[in-house]
Structures are given as C-alpha cells and as structure tokens.
C-alpha cells in the first residue's frame, strides 16, 4: 500500500470538512488520547534537547552554532545551539531539492506529507514543552496550539492544496468540428510550482503560524526555508526534523525543507527574503516589517500582521457571563494572541435584561471579572501563562503613561510551579471616544481599554474605522436585537472583519477552528492572506496548458 493509499481516508475526510465547514478535528486536542506513556516520553525527549546542539546533518556543515532561547517561566536559558548557514548555502540546497520535488505527483506528495504529520504527532509532548519554555504559553495551550491544532491547520492546507492541484484533468483530447473534418489537439495541464518558499515565524506561536505556510508550499511542489524567531526556534525545529526524517525514510531529499536559524545580532531574514531564488514568503509578525515584506518586488507574499480587535457592547441578557468571557479572552496567554480583544466599546447606557446600567457600572463589574480570574488559585496563572519578552512586560507596567483613567494596573502574579515566571495581571484603562491616540494602535500584551461612547452607532463607527486603517482579525459584539446585530455585521464586513456575537461560557473570540473558520480574511491591513482559503494555495503554483496536434 502506498503512502497515498494509506492516508487517503484522512484526505477525503479533510476535503469533506473543508466543504461542509462543520466541526472536524483529525488530531484530538486531549492529551489523554495519545496514551499514558506519551507525556513522560515527551518530557524525556525535551530534556535531551537542552544543553546540546540541535543537529540537522542533511543541511551540511554549518558556519556556526548559536542559540538564545530563554524560558519565560524559569528565566533560565535552554542552552540549545542551532546550526547557522549562509544564505547562499541554504538556497543552493533548496534549489537542488526543488529539482526533484517539483516532479513528484500531488498524490505522492500528499502521502509523504501526511506521513510527516503522523511522525510529528509522536512529538506533540516534547513540542509542547518546547513551546511552553520559549513562548510563555501555558502547558495546555502549548500542547493544543503547537500540537493537534497546528497539525489540523497543516492538514487543512494539504487537503486544500491537493484539491486545487487535481481540479483539472492531466490530459484531454480536444476536438473541434470543422464541417467535413475536425481539428484534434492533445492538451495537457500541469500545475507548476514557483520555486523556493520562505516561512518567517514569530516568537509567540512558532508552530501554529508556520505549519500552514510550510505545508501549503510543500504540497504545491515548492521547497521551503523555515526562518524561526531566534527566541523560539526549538518547537518548529522539531517539526522540520520530523519532515526531513520522513522524506529521507522514503528516498527523497530531506533539504526540501530546511531550518534557516539566525540570531538577533546577525539576522538573515532580509537576505533570505530578497534572494532572487525565493519566490514565496509567508510572514507572521509586526506590521512594520510585514509592510516591508509586502513591498519586495517579484515575490508572492502571505502576511499576518498586527490588528486592533474590538468588542462592541449594545445589550445583553445577563452581564456576568459576558464579562467573564471577555476577561478570559483578554487574559488568555496575557493577550499575546493576534485574535485577542483590546478595545471594548461601551456606550453610556447598556441594556442588561430589563434594566439599564451605566458605563461606570459595567466597567466596575469588568474590573471585578479580571480580579476574580487573576486571583483564582486554580486557573489564574495558568490562563495568563508568561509574557514572552521584557518589552511586552514593560509596555503593560508603563500603561498608565498612555493617558486615560487607570482602572486596573498590571502587577506581578505568583506562579505556583515557576517562582521566576514572568507572569502579570492585565491592565484595564478607560478612554473617551475622542482619545484615539490611546487606542488606535495594537498594544501587544495584557492591555484592555474600555472606551466610553455615546451609543452603539458610535462604537461601530470607531471599530470600523480602526479595522479599515489599522486592521482587525476579530470582532466580538453583544446585542439582543437582531436588527442591531445585522447592522454591526454588515458594517464590519465592509472592512473585511468577521464578527462573533454573544459569546459566553467556554468558547472565546480568540479561537479559530481549522476546517471551519478562516483565520484572517486578507482584506484589511491585519494581513493579506487567510488560513485557509483557496487563494492560500493556488498562488503558490501556476497552471500551464500545452497542446499537440493530433
């Protein structure tokens, strides 16, 4: 049985899920699904990575070994050194691998890549620890986001890619009647990959944000260079190694995908991005550098940059579950998620059931919801995780200098398991509708701003303007009025921002589900691409049709 035949049922189910958009998870998100021995095995493997070189022998002899990862939980360096290569060496390896990979049929490519996800599944627990101790995500978030959720997104890219690559027939006999005779042409249709893809990772979600681009480029026949953030290399390095091992075991060149590590002092991102042989770039990170990436000529670029996400208050049946949900969404991983809400637009009066509460009454209860979450010994520190870098911590601690009224200042939060953890409570500021300088940009980290508006109309107007000019990935809204919900949805969709209404309980606006939710629309300044719509894969190859007279 070929690898394609072995993994075809998974492909069929994934394609079905993409079309139906209903719940589907190919990789269970519960750790217990992977066996009793898996956590201990993963822990042992993770410990073996520490204080050692992360060797990738297929990539050749490195010019140096460097590593600068420090755990946000322990404050201790991981002391892992990664091979450093010159740009031309990496590109040369990739071009050689591309010459082989581009001729592999889509079915065979899919079988190999699906097998690599199965191999990666065996590393979910060590990837989780690697993610936790480079990003500051809690262990459970690290396991889910960098393990099953990332693998689901990768499979989604594979399924979408395979579907698009096989959309048209490989060969047809074309015949045009011409009266007493006909003209016959044999026509072939081939999807041709563009070349080398570069995936530029971020420090907060090094696997979840990188695997879709990696697998979308690989399934469409391109070779890939993976350039991780120097502060979060290990999680994606494990994934790259799993893909390389799968390729080697099946007789293919492992350098079809390579790790292109660098250091903060000697970055190579621009060198790689501007190299003539690099044709595709996937980027996650700051708006400033993302804007630069989008301007490099001759590249097909897929970006996810910063956005300013809003919550719009209109009316609610009950206030407490709503505020608990918002407090959790803001606090989850200390707001270090591109989907985290920041600006909470609250009118002077909010309808709560059959009564009205003032802005101050609502914000007072929101403040209480934050405090209750942070001070909960069973979940506070676990929800907050740890702040990935010092700059984010300083931004939160200095938030009072931004202006506005301070309802809650950020303070250090004790983490029972890690006494040196960089864990802190969220900031809650108040601003007026005219104080746009305070809330018009993304304030990455645990910062929420309650914005006082005249009414829902003004709230929507401000949210829409921010999405149009700064970008937005999510928007949450609360209303009991169908007409108001319709208005909010229509207004925000004009600036290509999806709206989630009336969330309470254990589901949050931060979450986007593979096979169902499009992550980023690609229609506003938050990014020009979307996980995973057809454009995310079809722009990585070109259809070429050739003809021969019969």
Determine if the peptide bond prior to 339 is cis (ω within 30°).
no
Dihedral sign for Cα 304, 238, 115, 542, please. Answer: positive
Decide if 233 contacts 417 (C-beta within 8 A). Answer: no
Dihedral sign for Cα 452, 454, 455, 458, please. Answer: negative
Decide if 86 contacts 63 (C-beta within 8 A). Answer: yes
Q: Considering only CA atoms, which of 303, 282, 299, 155 is closest in space to residue 213?
A: 282
Report whether pLDDT(350) > 90: yes
Report whether pLDDT(64) > 90: yes
For 74, phi then psi, to 5°, come to -100, -20
CA gap 306, 309 in Å, rounded: 9
For 442, phi then psi, to 5°, come to -70, 130
What residues contact 435, with CB distance under 8 A and at least 6 apart?
403, 404, 451
pLDDT tens per residue across span 422-464? 999 999 999 999 999 999 999 999 999 999 999 999 999 999 9
Average pLDDT over residues 11-40: 97
pLDDT at 400: 87
Residue 155's alpha-carbon distances to 8, 49, 121, in angstroms, are 12, 27, 12
Average pLDDT over residues 48-65: 97
Helix (H) or strand (E) holding 352: strand 349-352
Residue 466's alpha-carbon distances to 239, 341, 431, 492, in angstroms, are 36, 13, 15, 10
Q: Considering only CA atoms, which of 390, 126, 361 is closest in space to residue 242?
A: 126
What residues contact 460, with CB distance under 8 A and at least 6 apart?
312, 487, 488, 491, 492
pLDDT at 12: 98
pLDDT at 378: 87
pLDDT tens per residue across span 86-124? 999 999 999 999 999 999 999 999 999 999 999 999 999
Dihedral sign for Cα 135, 137, 138, 139, please. Answer: negative
pLDDT tens per residue across span 486-495? 999 999 999 9
pLDDT at 70: 98
CA gap 31, 22 in Å, rounded: 23
Of residues 367 and 379, more confidence is placed in: 367
What residues contact 541, with CB distance under 8 A and at least 6 apart?
165, 191, 192, 193, 194, 220, 221, 222
Decide if 143 contacts 42 (C-beta within 8 A). Answer: no
DSSP-based three-state secondary structure for 97: helix
Residue-level length of the chain? 550
Q: Name the DSSP class of 198.
A: E
Q: Considering only CA atoms, which of 534, 547, 546, 549 is closest in space to residue 165?
A: 534
pLDDT tens per residue across span 251-295? 999 999 999 999 999 999 999 999 999 999 999 999 999 999 999
Q: Write b or e for each residue in 491-521: b if 16 or more Cβ atoms lie within 10 A of its Cβ, otherwise e.
A: bbeebbbbbbeebbeeebbbbbbbbeeebbb
- Give start and end residues of each alpha helix (H) in 21-86: 38-49
Residue 59's alpha-carbon distances to 51, 93, 232, 252, in angstroms, are 21, 7, 20, 14
Provide the angle, in degrees to the nearest 10, between the axes of the packed helices 211-219 and 148-165: 30
Decide if 82 contacts 54 (C-beta within 8 A). Answer: yes
Q: What does the radius of gyration of the chain's CA atoms come to, in whole angstroms?
A: 25
Q: In sequence order, what DSSP letters do the residues of 370-411 get, joined into one string?
A: HHHHHT-TTTHHHHH---SSHHHHHHHHTGGGG-SEEEE---
Whole-model pTM: value is: 0.97
CA gap 427, 410 in Å, rounded: 5
> Domains (ranges, CATH) in the chain?
3-20+49-169+195-305+529-541 (3.40.605.10), 310-501 (3.40.309.10)
pLDDT at 383: 96
């Amino acid at each position: 049985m070929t690898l394609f035949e072995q993994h075809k049922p998974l492909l069929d189910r994934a394609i079905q899920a993409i079309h139906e958009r209903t719940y589907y998870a190919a990789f269970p998100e519960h750790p217990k699904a992977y066996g009793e021995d898996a956590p201990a095995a993963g822990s042992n493997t993770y410990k073996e990575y520490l204080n050692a070189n992360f060797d990738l022998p297929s990539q050749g002899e490195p010019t140096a070994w460097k590593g600068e990862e420090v755990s946000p939980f322990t404050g201790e360096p991981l002391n892992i050194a990664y091979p450093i290569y010159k740009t031309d060496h990496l590109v040369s390896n990739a071009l050689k691998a591309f010459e082989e990979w581009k001729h592999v049929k889509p079915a065979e490519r899919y079988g190999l890549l699906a097998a690599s996800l199965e191999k990666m599944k065996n590393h979910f627990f060590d990837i989780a620890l690697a993610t936790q101790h480079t990003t500051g995500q809690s262990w459970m978030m690290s396991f889910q986001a960098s393990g099953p959720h990332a693998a689901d997104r990768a499979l989604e890219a594979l399924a979408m890619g395979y579907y698009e690559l096989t959309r048209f027939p490989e060969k047809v006999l074309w015949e045009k009647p011409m009266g007493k005779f006909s003209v016959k042409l044999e026509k072939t249709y081939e999807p041709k990959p563009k070349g080398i893809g570069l995936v530029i990772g971020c420090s907060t979600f090094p696997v979840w944000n990188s695997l879709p681009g990696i697998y979308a480029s690989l399934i469409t026949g391109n070779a890939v260079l993976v350039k991780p953030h120097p502060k979060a290399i290990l999680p994606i390095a494990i994934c790259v190694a799993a893909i390389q091992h799968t390729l080697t075991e099946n007789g293919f060149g492992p350098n079809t995908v390579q790790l292109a590590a660098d250091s903060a002092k000697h970055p190579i991102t621009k060198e790689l991005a501007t190299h003539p042989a690099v044709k595709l770039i996937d980027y996650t990170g700051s708006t400033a550098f993302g804007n630069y990436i989008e301007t490099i000529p001759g590249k097909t670029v897929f970006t996810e940059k910063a956005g300013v996400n809003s919550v719009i208050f209109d009316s609610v049946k009950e206030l407490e579950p709503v505020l608990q949900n918002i407090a959790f969404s803001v606090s989850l991983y200390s707001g270090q998620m591109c989907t985290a809400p920041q600006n909470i637009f609250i009118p002077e009066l909010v309808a709560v059931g059959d009564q009205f509460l003032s802005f101050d009454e609502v914000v007072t209860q929101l403040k209480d919801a934050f405090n209750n979450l942070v001070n909960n010994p069973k979940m506070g520190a676990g929800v907050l995780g740890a702040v990935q870098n010092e700059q984010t911590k300083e931004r939160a601690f200095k938030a009072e200098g931004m202006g506005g009224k301070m309802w809650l200042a950020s303070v250090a939060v004790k983490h029972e398991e890690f006494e040196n953890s960089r864990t802190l409570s969220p900031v809650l500021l108040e601003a007026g509708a005219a104080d746009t300088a305070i809330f018009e940009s993304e304030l990455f980290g645990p910062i929420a701003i309650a914005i006082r508006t005249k009414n829902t109309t003004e709230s929507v107007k401000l949210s829409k303007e921010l999405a149009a000019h700064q970008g937005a990935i999510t928007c949450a809204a609360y209303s009991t009025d169908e007409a108001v919900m319709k208005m909010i949805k229509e207004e925000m969709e004009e600036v290509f921002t999806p709206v989630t209404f009336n969330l309470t309980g254990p589901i949050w606006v931060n979450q986007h589900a593979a096979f169902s939710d499009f992550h980023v629309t690609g229609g506003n300044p938050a990014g020009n691409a979307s996980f995973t719509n057809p454009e995310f894969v079809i722009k990585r190859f070109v259809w070429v049709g050739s003809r021969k007279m019969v």
